[in-house]
Structures are given as structure tokens and as C-alpha cells.
Amino acid sequence: MATVLVNGQEVEIGASERLNCIQAAAKVGVEIPAYCWHPELSVVASCRMCLVEVGDKKPDGTVAMQPKLVPGCQTPAKDGTVIISDSPKVKEARKATLEYLLLNHPLDCPTCDQAGECYLQDYSFNYGRGYSRLNEPKNIKPDKTNIGDQITLFTDRCIMCTRCVRFTREISGSAELQVVSRGSHEEIDIFPGFPVNNPLAGNVVDICPVGALCSKDFLYQQRVWWLKSASSVCPGCSTGCSITVDQNEERVYRLHPRPNEKAQGHFMCDAGRFGWKYTHSDQRLMSPETRTNGHVTPTDFDTVLNSVRAALIKAAQGGKGKIAAVLSPWMTVEEAYLLSSFLKGLSTDVTLAIGPVRIEGHDDQFPKDVKGHVVAPVKFTIRAEKCPNRAGVEAVLTHFAGDVMPFEELLRLASASQFKAVYLVGGDPEGWMTDIQAEAFSKVETVIVQDILPSPVLKHATHVLPSGTFVEREGVFVNHNGLAQLIHRSVRGPDGTRPDGRLLWDLAQRLGLIQTEALRREIAGAIPALAAIASPELKGQGVFLGEAVAAPV
């Protein structure tokens, strides 16, 4: 245990923690401004924004301060380290550094995407001088729109923190970005013909502390102060990156990673980052339907849910093992529990299977060297398993059915005309069923499809329940590692859709409106493997459920 003094306040640092002065100060809420330092990247100490006074407290109580200001990012906080970040000397240095940074920075905040979440704005407001003493023309550097398919560079806004350069060298390993020229003519650039198109490229936009690197997708779409944020989990693969969903007026505009050491760290991949577009697709299923002999009747939710319930009860009364359900690995734990427990309530021997778990290639690990070989230590992994909650759904299925029936097995049973009613839950935006697989349900009397997008099985459907995407629902996803994290509803789905949880809640005729928190307590009581999801820790970085849940069946 080490004690560090930050502006006179004592900070306790754990024995295994290796913190620099910025991190130590942050522990007591003291902000030491910094641009070039990033917790996941190497220290270069070049922006000189985090200069602080540092000294040592001797055992006899005297303090020996170093005569020079030192960069907080580069200075380890050890037992007895004294950090002063509010002295006139420090304030003067910050003011000078900010003036330098703003010298050639265009004051185009009114048209800059970063405005509102810009460290140059924030620090200038807090520590800067408020006006420029430059009487000469600013350096003007050309914008580089060709720097990547998803990225554009406003070169003159760059403050040369080199975070992006270090990201491509240290995290993605692809090293596309570099510094060219010298002195105040320095620019970030690529080698001609080698743009930043690696699978993690979008992160350079997030780590850019100013508006230099912008996402082409988000460019000029919104002012950031209009956006409302909700924390969520990326459903793109089983890594389960913690993310923030930014929306305005029921429309998602961007996803960005939320730092979470338990999940992925600080970054996310581009597939996930830009993989939410289907939410606003005009292909979405937008109306509950009842279909008889190819004849589609649009209906309302109350009617269709009553019909579905009646059909399921009828099938349950028609004999043993006549009901089956496919639970998608895109469902939350709560949704899987609601559906399973409802069907189990109708008939003790329902067949429960997991939906198709889409696997694409192999786990993609970073950093990679130029030849594409992974370099240890691995800093980011895009997983081949392209669904968010296989582990969570399997845990529910194991509880209700004893084991997890694979999708193929259910298809075999369905095509053998085993079932009178099948409840299919989709949710995979990339499609989850082929035409041939859909044929398996052609002879089933009642096929209920709960999905977001059209799929081949719709032609055999008797009831269609339009459901919600991950940004429209609330619940728990369990990632590859058994980490349970909460997703939050950030937008309302289009008219004519309902979030899955509410659908299933109403189907099960539970009282009132769905309350996922109460439901989680119920699940925690019922399923020992999932007991941890009722813990308050879930709301922060999530809780580990243990290896048993994570292990593939």
C-alpha cells in the first residue's frame, strides 16, 4: 500500500497498481489535463499538457520538490510522491501550452464535429487564456479525406498528440499512420495508397482528443450536445464490447466504445461500430401479422398474442412434445427466461433449442505485424462467434431443458413432423435461416416467428411478431468469458414493433409492465448459475458468472 499526496489530499494506491500521476490524481477527482497520454498506449510525454510539480515526502516528514515541472504521464506515483497540480507555476505552464496548441488551430468549432466533446475546448475553458495573441496568419494544411474509408482527417485541427499513430502501431499493428514533415509543418499522413482500413480503424476517431480525425459516417450528422447516450453492449460478436449508443429523436447516430477492462478494454471493431444500421432499415418487420395459406392479414399485437397463446395451448393439449421453441443467441437472458418459463408452464416436455450460432472464420486478434501474424501480447480480439449471448441463452436452456439442443437437431425433428407448434426467435440481422432449413417448418401447423427482419421462414409462418433490435431492448448479455453486462434501451422501435421482452411478458400474461430488474431477481433465484445477475455490480462494468456459464456446450 502506497500513499500519494495530491494537492494535499492523501490517495491510497494498491500494492499491485502501477499508476502515473494522472491516474493517481484522478482517484481523488483531481483532473490533470493531458492530450498525448492514453491508458492503452505507450507514453510519449510530448504534449506537455500534464506538467505538474512533483516531489518526495521523506520519512521525517519533509518534502523535497523537484525544481522542474515534470509530465504527470511519465512520472510514476510511488509511496511518498507529492503531486501539486494547482500551483501558479503549473497553471502558467498549462496556459502557455494551450496557447501554443491553439496558435495554428482553426477556430471552426461551429462546424467541427468534435465541438462539445473536445478536449481543446474543455481545457481552454478550464485552463486557457481565452484569446489568442497570434497576429500572424495561421498555418493552413490540406484536409485529407482519403486517409481511410471511414475516416477523414482535418489536418489543421491536429495537435500532434500522435495517439492515432501509436494506435495503429501498437493496437492494430497495421502502422498506416505516421508523422510527416517537421516542426510546425508536421502532419499526420498515410503512405500513398495505404489508407487506414484495418478492422479497428474507427478507434482513431475516438482517441483523437480534438476534431482532426472524424468519422465519415457521423460527419455533420449531429451536434454532440443533441445526442442522448445509453450504455449498452455491442451484439456483433461474443467479445461483448461495452459501448455507448448515441441517439437523437429515436434515431441512432453512432456507437462508441465504453472503457471496460472486464470486457474489451478501450476499443471496439469497425464491424460493431458501424453494424447498427439495420436498426433503421426499411426492411424491418413493422406490423404483427397472421398468415393463413399464404394470405397475410395485418393485425394488432393484442389480437396476435391472443392467437399465439391459444395456438400454443391447443398444441400443448394435443399431446406430449408437440411444442418446440428456438431461442436465438441474440436474445437477452431475461427474454430467454420469459419464453422458456412460459412454454414450460404450458407443457412440461416442450423442446427447447438454441438458434443458429453464426461462426465466421477464426478469432481475429490484434496487434498484427505486416505479414499478418499476431504479435503477443494480444490487445484486442474480434471473435468468430457472431452473436452476443450464446452463453446466457445456453445457461437458461440448460436450466429448463437439462441440455442444449442444437438448431440442426431441432430442424430434423421439425421436418419429421414432430411438432404442432414451433416458436422461432430470430434477431440475427445477417440472416439466420436458409431456404432449405426453412422447409423443415413447412409441415408444422403453427409457426410463430418473432424477428426483426424478413427471413425465408416467413413463408411458413402463421404468426409474425415484429420485435426489437439491441438498441430497443433492455436486458443481460453474457459474453464469451461469462461476463454478464446490461444493455439499455436507447431508442423506441418503429411503430408496429415491440421489444422482445415486452412481447413475451404480455404473451405470458404477466401483470403490469415488464420490469427487467425484478425479472433478474426472479431469474437469479431460479437459476443458480445466473445468480450473480441480480448483483448491483451489473450496472457498472458487469459481473462474471463463472466459467461454467462461459464454456461452450
**Which spans of this chain sit near other proteins (rule: CB under 8 A)?**
43-49, 51, 67-71, 74, 89, 92-93, 96-97, 100-101, 103-104, 133-136, 139, 159-160, 179, 181-186
For other proteins, give the closer residue by CB, 37 or 407: 37
- What does the alpha-carbon distance between residue 466 and residue 454 come to, in Å, rounded to a whole number? 10
Torsion, Cα 390 393 399 400, to 10 degrees, reads: -130
- Taking the complex as a whole, the smallest distance from the CB of residue 130 to other proteins amounts, in Å, to 16
- What does the alpha-carbon distance between residue 266 and residue 202 come to, in Å, rounded to a whole number? 12
For other proteins, give the closer residue by CB, 133 or 371: 133
For other proteins, give the closer residue by CB, 28 or 43: 43
For other proteins, give the closer residue by CB, 136 or 282: 136
For other proteins, give the closer residue by CB, 92 or 517: 92
Neighbours of 490 (CB within 10 A): 23
- Taking the complex as a whole, the smallest distance from the CB of residue 494 to other proteins amounts, in Å, to 49
- Taking the complex as a whole, the smallest distance from the CB of residue 17 to other proteins amounts, in Å, to 20
Structure-block grid coordinates of residue 136:
500572424
Q: Where are the beta strands (DSSP E) in 258-379?
A: 289-292, 295-298, 323-327, 351-354, 364-366
CA-closest candidate to residue 423, choices 536, 281, 531, 309:
309
For other proteins, give the closer residue by CB, 43 or 524: 43
For other proteins, give the closer residue by CB, 46 or 221: 46
- What does the alpha-carbon distance between residue 393 and residue 97 come to, in Å, rounded to a whole number? 53
- Taking the complex as a whole, the smallest distance from the CB of residue 82 to other proteins amounts, in Å, to 16
Gyration radius from the chain CA atoms? 27
Q: Please answer whether residues 168 and 174 qualify as being in contact, where contact means their C-beta atoms are separated by less than 8 angstroms.
A: yes
- Taking the complex as a whole, the smallest distance from the CB of residue 107 to other proteins amounts, in Å, to 16
- Taking the complex as a whole, the smallest distance from the CB of residue 164 to other proteins amounts, in Å, to 15
Query: 3-state SS string over 339-351?
Result: HHHHHHHHCCCCE
For other proteins, give the closer residue by CB, 74 or 306: 74
Segment (H or E) for 187: strand 187-190
CA-closest candidate to residue 149, choices 190, 208, 207, 114:
190
- Taking the complex as a whole, the smallest distance from the CB of residue 37 to other proteins amounts, in Å, to 11
- What does the alpha-carbon distance between residue 260 and residue 541 come to, in Å, rounded to a whole number? 6
- Taking the complex as a whole, the smallest distance from the CB of residue 72 to other proteins amounts, in Å, to 12
For other proteins, give the closer residue by CB, 103 or 374: 103
- Taking the complex as a whole, the smallest distance from the CB of residue 165 to other proteins amounts, in Å, to 10
Neighbours of 56 (CB within 10 A): 14
Helix runs in 183-269, H state only: 203-207
